[in-house]
Amino acid sequence: MNGIHRIGILTAGGDCPGLNAVIRAVAKTALSKYNLEVMGIEDGFLGLIQNRVKPLENESVSNILTLGGTILGTNNKIAPRKYPVKVDGKIEFRDVTDRCLEHIAVNNLDALVVIGGDGSMSIASDFVQMGINCIGVPKTIDNDLYGTDVTFGFATAVSIATDALDRVHTTAASHHRVMIVEVMGRNAGWIALHAGLASGSDIILLPEIPFSINKICEYVLNRSKRGKRFSIICVSEGARYEGGEQVVNRIDPTSPDPIRLGGIGQKVADDIEAETGIETRPITLGHIQRGGTPVAADRVLATEFGNKAIELLMAGEKSRLVVMKGRTVTHIALQEAANKQRLVPLDHPLIDAARNVGTCFGD
């Protein structure tokens, strides 16, 4: 059994379609095939800090494959090395990693299955350096986790964004407007690229390609002159003007990562309308992209990833991250993905394909 008798599982960071499918696959494989004990840690690393741990049985994870969100809860504000504490009315950050190690020991956890994105894997990497065996499962709708070709949740987010872009198409055409849909993607524009291409968006704006508002306006006006009296723009929340900064919606001082992006769609809309005189309306999808039932592809991928995580543990592997390479589920060292992001390469085939069908990237 390689010393593995009881494992802990947690979901950390933002919620994501397919989290429950992974929890189900991990728990059912561990319980049914290997007769392990499985403990669910509530609300991500916060539950580990506060020792909120509960047993998971087959009944606990039945009928959750199609359920959105996570039955364990999650938290995207808490990191053990930067735990917010209010002192004299001000927020201070404390390192409470020792509490996590204590609760891992108290609950006799031989390993952790950490389901999360780049921030979660960075935290798990810290635990690995302290001797805790962690197996990572890549989760993020942004598809930006280093080392894997795809993360579960991405396909669902793209499907939701594409549907929204399809729906505004008819409104844009009817009213002869420019319609802008702002999607998630802080530093990586995978959602905008895929959804923009799938919906036939006229303009796609990515964080990786700073854009010129003049070129966008010129493109829109040229379409109008050719009889195309509307335009559809898909923009990542992290896109920025040439020589400019990302648009910050607010600062959350209680979070280790306090910057919250948002508003680029509104800014671009205001500038287009001012420069062209064409009525322009922005729409921000926000957390709609994270919610609801995962599409079939994410359910399948999540199940593959969850099963692989347990197989790795029982094969004696330590500190690995489950990844998809091509069409093969494999694994890499967890530390390889820590503190890194997978951005859209400027020579990506989808960018080339989009340009060839006339899509503008504002550059």
Half-sphere exposure of 174 toward its Cβ, with a 13 Å CA cutoff? 5
As a whole number of angstroms, the distance between CA 242 and CA 81 comes to 35
Which two tokens mark 278?
A: 């064409």
CB 126, CB 97: distance < 8 Å: yes
Nearest of 288, 291, 285, 286 to residue 18 by alpha carbon: 291
Nearest of 251, 242, 253, 171 to residue 207 by alpha carbon: 242
Strand partners, 299: none
CB 12, CB 24: distance < 8 Å: no
Consecutive H or E run containing 248: strand 248-251
Annotated active-site residue in 142, 144, 202, 298: 142
CB 126, CB 81: distance < 8 Å: yes
User: Is 142 among the residues known to form the active site?
Assistant: yes
The CA-atom distances, in angstroms, between 104 and each of 228, 343, 357 are 61, 34, 54
Q: Angle of helix 154-175 relative to helix 296-314, nearest 10 degrees?
A: 160
CB 207, CB 234: distance < 8 Å: no
Which two tokens mark 286?
A: 């926000």
As a whole number of angstroms, the distance between CA 348 and CA 358 comes to 16
Q: In residues, how long is the chain?
A: 363
Residue 80 CA, chain-centre distance (Å), reads 20
Which residues are identified as catalytic? 142
